């Protein structure tokens, strides 16, 4: 993965605070696991159901750290097709993978471009991610916890797909409809087909 990502470096954009870029949404959100305002978020939920993502500041001169064999040669991650979560800071331009900053989680959303994303839908996924990260505050930082978060984000993406908010990208390199084949005159809400 590292090699391919590296080549794609010029098309990486960090989403937040930017205008959406049409061709690629290899986006990332970086947010602190130890979010301080959990109680506040709980209160906010009642009025405003969407959690506001709290991305970390973009850093400069990031170097890959602690990736060597002497550190175990591994990293903490949850990788599924559309959601890749790493417990590290990853530089969006150079893909430098700083494992000393394990207090941050980096989300790579849909690296294979299976879906067509808009700024709106990416924001929904990010806020879902932030909500889950806040929810799991205090849990052990293990692969199991990351996988729980990653799976919930995947389920959320599937929900968005079934609700018709995102579509399959017909120009994707691999077109195998991994979240179910598109169907005509069908929706999951139980309404009459249109």
**Which part of the chain contacts another protein (CB under 8 A), choosing from 96-104, 125-133, 145-153, 166-174?**
145-153
Beta bridge partners of 85: 78, 107
Q: Using CB under 8 A, which of 102, 116, 148, 172 touches another protein?
A: 148
Distance CA 155, CA 157 (A): 5
Distance CA 134, CA 41 (A): 8
Verify binding: residue 169, another protein, rule CB under 8 A.
no
| Residues numbered 114-143 forming contacts with another protein, rule: CB under 8 A | 140, 142-143
Strand 89-90 vs strand 115-116: parallel, antiparallel, or unpaired? unpaired
How many residues are there in the chain? 194
Distance CA 102, CA 140 (A): 12
**Which part of the chain contacts another protein (CB under 8 A), choosing from 45-53, 55-63, 78-86, 104-112?**
78-86
Q: Using CB under 8 A, which of 44, 113, 137, 154 touches another protein?
A: 154
**Which part of the chain contacts another protein (CB under 8 A), choosing from 10-18, 66-74, 79-87, 160-168?**
79-87
Determine contact, residues 108/26, Cβ cutoff 8 Å: yes
Which residues here bind another protein, judged by CB under 8 A? Answer: 80-81, 83, 140, 142-145, 147-148, 150-152, 154-155, 158, 176-181
């Amino acid at each position: 993965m590292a090699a391919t990502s590296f080549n794609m470096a010029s098309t990486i954009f960090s989403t937040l605070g930017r205008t959406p870029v049409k061709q690629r949404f290899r986006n990332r959100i970086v947010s602190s696991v130890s979010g301080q305002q959990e109680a506040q978020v709980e209160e906010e939920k009642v009025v405003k159901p969407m959690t506001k993502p709290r991305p970390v500041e973009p850093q400069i001169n990031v170097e890959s750290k602690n990736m060597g064999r002497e550190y175990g040669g591994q990293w903490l991650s949850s990788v599924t097709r559309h959601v890749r979560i790493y417990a590290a800071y990853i530089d969006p331009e150079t893909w430098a993978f700083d494992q000393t900053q394990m207090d941050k989680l980096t989300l790579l959303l849909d690296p294979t471009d299976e879906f067509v994303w808009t700024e709106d839908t990416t924001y929904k996924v990010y806020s879902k991610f932030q909500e889950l990260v806040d929810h799991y505050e205090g849990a052990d930082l293990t692969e199991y916890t990351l996988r729980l978060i990653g799976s919930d984000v995947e389920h959320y993406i599937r929900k968005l797909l079934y609700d018709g908010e995102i579509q399959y990208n017909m120009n994707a390199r691999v077109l195998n409809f991994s979240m179910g084949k598109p169907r005509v005159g069908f929706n999951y809400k139980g309404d009459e087909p249109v």
